[in-house]
Structure 1
Amino acid sequence: MVTKAFALLATFSAWLAFLWLGPSMDFTRHAPTSIIALHLLPPLFACAAWMGCSVFVRRRRMERERTAALEAETRERARQRAEQVEADKRRAERERSIDCRAVSISGLGTAKAIDAFPASRDNCRVEWELTSAGPHADGADRIGRLSLLMRQALEGITHIEPDCLMLPMFIVTPTGVSDAHAKSLLKQAIATMPAQTGLKRDDQPAIFTLDRSMSDGLATLFDTLPELGAALLIAVDASDSDSSDLLDEESTLSPDRMPPAQGASALLLMSPAIKHVSDIEVESGTHGKSVDALLPYWEHVSSDSHASTTTANLAEWRRLAQLPVLARIHRAACDDVETGSPGLLTQTRRTTTLMNEALLNAGVGSGMAFLGLVHDAGNIAHCGKRLACLGSALHAAEIDFEPVGPDALNLTDLIGDLGTASEVALLACAVAKTVETGRATLSAAFLPHGRLALRFIMPSSDDGTGP
């Protein structure tokens, strides 16, 4: 626009100057046509300048629009690419699962609980005892019981596979015990264990505590196990209350009081990406490493990483990798369902949403047929509304199952309140039930502060490599 205005102004000024100087010239010597041509020359020049400037400006505008369109297209492609990367990341996290290769459960229980829970099978030990823990224990006695429970957990899992003690260990801190003290108790239990083939006496496996402030305490495993390759999960807890009420079948506990309990659970977990030793050997050879450097967690890394600095030879790893897959554990869908004391309709809607997310995480759709349900909805004062909402969510997902039938195990009602060890014990019992029935099992963990975690445990395939 400025160029056009300048061209018109220059042409108009030249024309005015020509007309002003014209009278002082002698035009008598020129023909009238020449005079007319001289007067028409400035308008023609102005028109030509206008057309030239218009073409130039139009081309400049088209170039700017084309450049802006290309920039907008580039930004849109970058945005779509970022959204796709984020969607792939969320889908990978959602679909991430864990293979359970061994499970050990032990503790106190009633005769009814012992009859209800699955019996021991290969690589799956379930040992509930009727032995009383004695009268009300003080703090020192409770610490001793916790140490004994940790040893029981280690003995149960090493009875299945001795080499698992060389793996990184995740421990759920017991109630009233600091993380550092829990690690110390576990190290003491490891030190008292008999010498194993995969663990030298001067080796110390890496021990980590799970964050109990998370919505789903086991979510850390789903995020770190691909880096670790394999890990050992341990959870123990013991009530300070008198356990005689638990062992008395005719005792009349208050409806609001959970029976005391103590128990230990240990699971040997591996990433589904690791199926055969040959895969690890090829990967090690590709990176120019020796066959002894089998997994990332056997390499020396920074101390703030979830990794171990212990080493193992090929034979020890082959024994671990050849363990059959008992079940595949999928990431839980966890959210608040009881916040603000919601009505039955609101709580049912929230539970149904979680059920759909859990089905999505497991990679299955509505109408799934499963046989088992393990939950810790509590005693009669707590479980009515919870199981009603859970049953409605199952019905909405077109899953025909009765949450109060013989195939449903109420861990808290049968065993008692295991405190911080409840979620892992629930998971271990769900794996044991999947192994017993050969069908999928739903684990419903009612966590503190009104949270609910739903996850599906799927049976392994016939070839032993996973679902």
Structure 2
Amino acid sequence: MLGTLGLFGGLFTAWWALLWWVLPVSWQTISPSALLMLHLLPPIGIGAAWHSWRWWQARKEQAATAAAAESAEAERAAQRAAARDKHYQQLAARQQTLPCRGVWAHVLATRDEPSWLHELPDGCFWQTQLPDEIDDDLSWPDALAHQLVSLLSEVYALAPGAAWLPHLYEAHPEIEGREQLEIYRRAQQSTAEGQLFDEPHEADCRFLPGSGAIAERVQQVLQQNPHWPGVLICAVDSPYIAQQALDEWDEPSEAQIELARWEGAPGQASIALLFLRDMLPEPQTTDSGAPQSAVDPYTPYWEKQATYGDERWGRVPTSWQSSLYELPVVGLLCPAQEGELSEKSVMQASRQVQHLLAEALLDAALRDYPFSSEDAEPAKDCAEQIAWLVHNSGDADVGGTRLAALSTALHYFGISLNPIDEASNSVRDWGNVGCCRGLLHSALVLTHSARLQAPAVLGHFATERITISVGKPTEVNA
């Protein structure tokens, strides 16, 4: 208000001074009304023009400010949307699961057979052996080969196409690498020849690279070998045979006794897990429904070599592709979380296990992890669905801290399973299975999740370390 008065006061004063003292105006020739207009209209017009210009400038600045604010808000919204998309992309990447098409396990029962062996689901094949059924006269390498032949015979009988898949073996630390592969190759080749396949077969056996959880290692192998349609993961070991080879008069040392308390009595196991890629093409068939290469049984083998169909099936002949394609998914292995474990304090160990379990539940899509509170979906917090625990905490007199840490972490997330009655302690049930321990745990998780149609959690203990992962049935992932 004062500014406007000052503006008009200044304009009138300056104009009148200019009009009276500077401009040559003849006042006698101007009418009173024109004289009045001459004194009033120019200052008023200049003031009005000034105010109009100021108003226009203010509106322009206001529009620029609003445009800048809208642009900044749009940029923030775009950044937020990009961050949200990145968050859920990373979440989807870490929640990728590995479907398993078959579980085969031959194990030595060091105690009474678990009751769940009478409730095996489709796609899971377990056989238990007794010590009296094992030939003690076999050397250790011959015993491994014998185990592998028995295992692969069962695999090839159910899924003949698996004979043409790459076989990846867990490395045995006490046998030289080339010697191991030669043992496995001969056993694999003799098993395939015993099946009397018409198609030529050449054993493809290698070591499973890396260490740690099976799911990540298999996924990495499939990523590095895109021409493979799948893999058969195998592990064979027999600490029982190795123990029998020792002098029966030798007393076990204190270290051996302590190891048995943590790892279990010497056992024996041969495990195989079958994994195929997603979205494999359907095998080509004739109008009669039979595979193309099975139409003419008199086709010479050198002509059958060209009947492999889609290249995504790799070396698997067309006649046996359906034996793999029709295998149902037994269960899903989720990514694992590994970390340190301090066993000096139950509370500290519980916190460490709790952190790893939280990440493992997130990897298994059993825990909600929204980008913001607006995206929260409480229905995704379903960790309480877990119905079984697989672990190797050790014998009852040494594994208390480990089992207590697991139980506390499970209880924290509302998982109310009984860690004794609703759990498999591989140390007590199957003893020391050597290099088969990791594959045995994966086989147990897959079997129990398929049997119960509910997720199962795995706690794999090592020296001052623990790996936690989850296995799920296919319905949970749907």
Distance, in Å, in 2 between the alignment partners of 1:218 and 1:102 is 14
Shift of 1:81: 3.0
TM-score, normalised with respect to structure 1: 0.67
1:71 pairs with 2:71: yes
Shift of 1:47: 2.1
Residue 378 of structure 1 aligns to a residue whose secondary structure is: coil
Matches within 5 A, 1:84-123: 84-93=84-93, 95-106=95-106, 109=108, 111-112=110-111, 118=117, 123=123
Does the 8 Å CA contact 2:215/2:333 hold for their aligned counterparts? no
1:456 pairs with 2:471: yes
Residue 337 of structure 2 aligns to a residue whose secondary structure is: strand
Question: Which of the residues 325, 334, 338 maps onto 1:331?
Answer: 334
Does the 8 Å CA contact 1:163/1:198 hold for their aligned counterparts? no
Q: 1:230 to 1:20 in 2, by over 3 A?
A: same
Q: 1:202 to 1:62 in 2, by over 3 A?
A: farther
Does the 8 Å CA contact 1:233/1:267 hold for their aligned counterparts? yes
Shift of 1:164: 1.1
Count of aligned residue pairs for this structure pair: 415
Distance, in Å, in 2 between the alignment partners of 1:89 and 1:430 is 27
Distance, in Å, in 1 between the alignment partners of 2:51 and 2:180 is 87
Does the 8 Å CA contact 1:106/1:263 hold for their aligned counterparts? yes
Distance, in Å, in 1 between the alignment partners of 2:21 and 2:423 is 112
169-178 or 343-352: bigger deviation: 169-178
Distance, in Å, in 2 between the alignment partners of 1:63 and 1:197 is 84
Residue 165 of structure 1 is matched in structure 2 by 163
Residue 194 of structure 1 aligns to a residue whose secondary structure is: helix
357-366 or 384-393: bigger deviation: 357-366
1:154 pairs with 2:152: yes
Distance, in Å, in 2 between the alignment partners of 1:70 and 1:198 is 71
Question: Which of the residues 365, 372, 375 maps onto 2:382?
Answer: 365
Residue 258 of structure 2 is matched in structure 1 by 255
Does the 8 Å CA contact 1:104/1:157 hold for their aligned counterparts? yes
Q: 1:150 to 1:350 in 2, by over 3 A?
A: same
Q: 1:381 to 1:68 in 2, by over 3 A?
A: farther
Distance, in Å, in 2 between the alignment partners of 1:329 and 1:104 is 16
Q: 1:311 to 1:254 in 2, by over 3 A?
A: closer
Matches within 5 A, 1:12-411: 19=18, 22-23=21-22, 25=24, 27-31=26-30, 37-38=37-38, 43-93=43-93, 95-106=95-106, 109=108, 111-112=110-111, 118=117, 123=123, 124-128=125-129, 130=131, 131=134, 151=149, 153-175=151-173, 187=185, 189-195=187-193, 200-201=199-200, 209-212=208-211, 216-221=213-218, 230-237=230-237, 242-244=242-244, 254-257=257-260, 258=263, 259-270=265-276, 298-299=311-312, 309-313=314-318, 315-325=319-329, 327-336=330-339, 338=341, 340-341=342-343, 343-355=345-357, 361=364, 363=366, 365-368=382-385, 370=387, 372-380=388-396, 382-405=398-421, 408-411=423-426
Distance, in Å, in 2 between the alignment partners of 1:57 and 1:176 is 86
Q: 1:190 to 1:333 in 2, by over 3 A?
A: closer
Does the 8 Å CA contact 2:170/2:235 hold for their aligned counterparts? yes
- 1:70-126 alpha-carbon deviations (Å, 9 max, x no partner): 32343233334334433443453465444433222235x354265678379775142
Q: 1:457 to 1:255 in 2, by over 3 A?
A: farther
Among the aligned pairs, what percent are the same residue? 19
Distance, in Å, in 2 between the alignment partners of 1:19 and 1:182 is 113
Q: 1:394 to 1:45 in 2, by over 3 A?
A: same
Shift of 1:266: 0.6
Question: Which of the residues 406, 416, 425 maps onto 2:440?
Answer: 425
Shift of 1:357: 5.4
Q: 1:156 to 1:373 in 2, by over 3 A?
A: farther
Shift of 1:321: 2.5
Does the 8 Å CA contact 2:339/2:356 hold for their aligned counterparts? no
TM-score, normalised with respect to structure 2: 0.66
Distance, in Å, in 1 between the alignment partners of 2:67 and 2:184 is 65
Residue 402 of structure 1 aligns to a residue whose secondary structure is: coil
Does the 8 Å CA contact 1:166/1:198 hold for their aligned counterparts? no
Shift of 1:385: 1.0
Shift of 1:329: 2.6
Q: 1:96 to 1:271 in 2, by over 3 A?
A: farther
Distance, in Å, in 2 between the alignment partners of 1:179 and 1:16 is 107
Distance, in Å, in 2 between the alignment partners of 1:61 and 1:419 is 77
Distance, in Å, in 2 between the alignment partners of 1:345 and 1:328 is 33
- Structure 2 letter corresponding to 1:67: A
Does the 8 Å CA contact 2:237/2:436 hold for their aligned counterparts? yes
Distance, in Å, in 1 between the alignment partners of 2:187 and 2:43 is 104
Residue 56 of structure 1 aligns to a residue whose secondary structure is: helix
216-225 or 53-62: bigger deviation: 216-225
- Structure 2 letter corresponding to 1:323: L
Q: 1:63 to 1:179 in 2, by over 3 A?
A: farther
Q: 1:457 to 1:41 in 2, by over 3 A?
A: closer
74-83 or 26-35: bigger deviation: 26-35
- Structure 2 letter corresponding to 1:126: Q
Shift of 1:267: 0.9
Does the 8 Å CA contact 2:410/2:416 hold for their aligned counterparts? yes
Distance, in Å, in 1 between the alignment partners of 2:119 and 2:244 is 26
- Structure 1 letter corresponding to 2:192: P
CA-based RMSD of the aligned residues comes to 5.0
Shift of 1:422: 1.4
Distance, in Å, in 2 between the alignment partners of 1:197 and 1:76 is 67
- Structure 2 letter corresponding to 1:423: G
Q: 1:60 to 1:466 in 2, by over 3 A?
A: closer
- Structure 2 letter corresponding to 1:317: Q
Does the 8 Å CA contact 2:240/2:268 hold for their aligned counterparts? no
Distance, in Å, in 2 between the alignment partners of 1:102 and 1:79 is 45
Q: 1:345 to 1:247 in 2, by over 3 A?
A: farther
Does the 8 Å CA contact 1:104/1:267 hold for their aligned counterparts? yes
Matches within 5 A, 1:436-455: 441-447=456-462, 449-455=464-470
Does the 8 Å CA contact 1:369/1:399 hold for their aligned counterparts? yes
- Structure 1 letter corresponding to 2:272: A
Shift of 1:386: 1.2
